[in-house]
């Protein structure tokens, strides 16, 4: 079963039902990959391989009896350690487990449980998801699998999610995204990610960073796998079949290329890969349209000043677990405590600014179907280079810059790999679409993947640990 990485999830699901593959074999492969590499990669806060194997065996028994609970049956999935999973502690990246109530499953996790998707464990997160790099002062940073010599950041705050896919210990990874937290790790690890529109997927029993901006998200190895996961989740949540439409080429598709904000300070080798990808899409029939995205600078300035995450996390902690504040990672603590000085007027001003930006962005989508830009501006930094607080702050804001706009404007977005930078770290292309346009976005992304190919694959091409 060493060639499993060559299969996509639709094929795996078909083979599970046809008897050519068992969920037990799939999960055993995940366990083997975990045991071989976890000491080096540190993808998980809590591993639950033994229980996941029992779920896989149960899925096999039911499938043999022609009982099909849904597409996710037997598909191993890692879950970010912000989501409640019954029987597993939730740390949310903090130094000690949260109260038992935070281990209850919300509707999103329940969609996986109800379909007998083996949950491989709780993947690492930045403490309370408050950071885009992937660092954690309590548990360390998972290692970016693409560099065997230097410990580089994996991206955050869903820091273990992309690593679990590269590791081969999971086939889907459930995360959250408040300012890029599924797209950043996807870009750095050569995987794909979907940031859903706020309100699209339920957030109950998920530890919040920002109740206003948090969105659940999904990571997968390819867009094909991402669509498989999206359709399975949506169908379960809506209790009806949900399908992403399939496009027949890119002719007539209008893809915007922002002339402002998203290219400022971009690394030359990253720009080269993204520009090359855009040219390929144009040659395949897409129309590239130069556009200007309004309100980026104003929205990002408010985000840099603490946005909504700092005051809303501060409020959550003060109301639910005030004792946690004194034990926070210093990089998180300084921002949480600083938010207590924020005036109500300034908080409301930021909400009004983001609301205005969300309304005015609609004029852009009258011109284009989606827009393209580099997911990230820079390569994955070495962990040792971020020991200084100011170095950390600058690097953190740098990785959050491009992805955060989709959150601040309440849009949906995908990141997919299009090449490698000068250090051999994957480069992501971000595709952004209008609010609640996930099906359209994924259809476009799939067509882009078919044109661009899988020049970067997190399994097979990623160094083996």
CB 224 within 8 A of CB 7: no
- What lies within 8 Å, CB to CB, of 253 at 6+ separation is 247, 285, 286, 287, 369, 444, 447
**pLDDT tens column, 235-270:** 999 999 999 999 999 999 999 999 999 999 999 999
Residue 157 is a catalytic residue: yes
Could you identify the residue written with the tokens 């790790």? 185
Selecting among 80, 122, 203, 420, the annotated active-site residue is 80
CA geometry: angle 201, 207, 211, nearest 5 deg: 60
Selecting among 37, 78, 103, 157, the annotated active-site residue is 157
Greater confidence (462 vs 310) lies with 310
Selecting among 37, 181, 235, 314, the annotated active-site residue is 181
Indicate the angle between helix axes 344-360 and 296-304, nearest 10 degrees: 150
- Decide: pTM greater than 0.95: yes
**pLDDT tens column, 144-200:** 999 999 999 999 999 999 999 999 999 999 999 999 999 999 999 999 999 999 999
For residue 457, what pLDDT band results from cuts at 50, 70 and 90? confident
**pLDDT tens column, 380-433:** 999 999 999 999 999 999 999 999 999 999 999 999 999 999 999 999 999 999
Question: What does the alpha-carbon distance between residue 24 and residue 255 come to, in Å, rounded to a whole number?
Answer: 43
Residue 64 is a catalytic residue: no
Token digits of residue 176: 């959250």
Question: What does the alpha-carbon distance between residue 424 and residue 363 come to, in Å, rounded to a whole number?
Answer: 38
Query: Beta partners for 419?
Result: 427
DSSP H helical ranges for 241-285: 268-283
* Domains of the chain, earliest start first: 4-452 (3.90.1300.10)
């Amino acid at each position: 079963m060493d060639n499993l990485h060559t299969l996509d999830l639709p094929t795996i699901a078909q083979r599970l039902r046809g008897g050519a593959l068992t969920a037990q074999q799939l999960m055993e492969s995940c366990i083997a990959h975990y045991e071989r590499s976890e000491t080096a990669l540190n993808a998980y806060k809590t591993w639950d391989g033994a229980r996941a194997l029992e779920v896989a065996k149960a899925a096999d028994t039911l499938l043999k009896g022609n009982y099909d609970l849904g597409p996710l049956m037997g598909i191993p999935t890692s879950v970010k350690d912000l989501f409640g999973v019954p029987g597993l502690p939730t740390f949310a990246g903090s130094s000690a487990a949260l109260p038992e109530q935070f281990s209850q499953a919300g509707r999103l996790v329940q969609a996986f449980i109800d379909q007998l998707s083996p949950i491989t464990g709780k993947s690492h997160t930045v403490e309370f998801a408050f950071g885009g790099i992937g660092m954690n002062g309590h548990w360390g940073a998972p290692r970016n699998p693409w560099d065997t010599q230097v410990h580089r950041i994996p991206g955050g705050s869903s820091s273990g999610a992309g690593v679990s896919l590269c590791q081969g210990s999971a086939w889907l990874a459930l995360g959250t995204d408040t300012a890029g937290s599924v797209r950043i790790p996807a870009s750095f690890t050569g995987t794909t990610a979907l940031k859903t529109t706020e309100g699209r997927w339920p957030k109950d029993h998920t530890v919040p960073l920002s109740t206003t901006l948090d969105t659940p998200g999904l990571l997968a190895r390819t867009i094909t796998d991402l669509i498989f996961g999206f359709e399975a989740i949506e169908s379960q949540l809506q209790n009806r079949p949900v399908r992403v439409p399939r496009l027949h080429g890119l002719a007539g598709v209008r893809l915007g290329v922002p002339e402002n904000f998203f290219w400022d300070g971009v690394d030359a080798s990253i720009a080269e890969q993204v520009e090359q990808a855009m040219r390929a899409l144009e040659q395949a029939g897409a129309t590239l349209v130069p556009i200007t995205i309004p309100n980026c600078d104003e929205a990002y300035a408010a985000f840099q000043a603490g946005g909504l995450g700092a005051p809303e996390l501060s409020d959550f902690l003060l109301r639910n677990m005030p004792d946690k504040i004194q034990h926070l990672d210093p990089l998180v603590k300084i921002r949480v405590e600083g938010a207590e000085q924020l005036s109500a007027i300034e908080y409301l001003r930021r909400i009004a600014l983001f609301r205005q930006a969300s309304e005015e962005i609609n004029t852009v989508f009258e011109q284009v179907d989606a827009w393209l830009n580099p997911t990230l501006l820079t390569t994955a930094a070495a962990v040792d280079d971020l020991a200084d607080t100011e170095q950390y702050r600058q690097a953190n804001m740098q990785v959050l810059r491009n992805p955060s706009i989709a959150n601040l404007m309440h849009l949906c977005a995908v990141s997919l790999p299009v090449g490698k930078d000068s250090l051999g770290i994957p480069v992501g292309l971000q595709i952004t679409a209008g609010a609640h346009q996930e099906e359209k976005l994924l259809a476009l992304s799939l067509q882009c993947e078919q044109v661009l190919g899988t020049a970067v694959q997190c399994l097979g091409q990623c160094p083996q640990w």
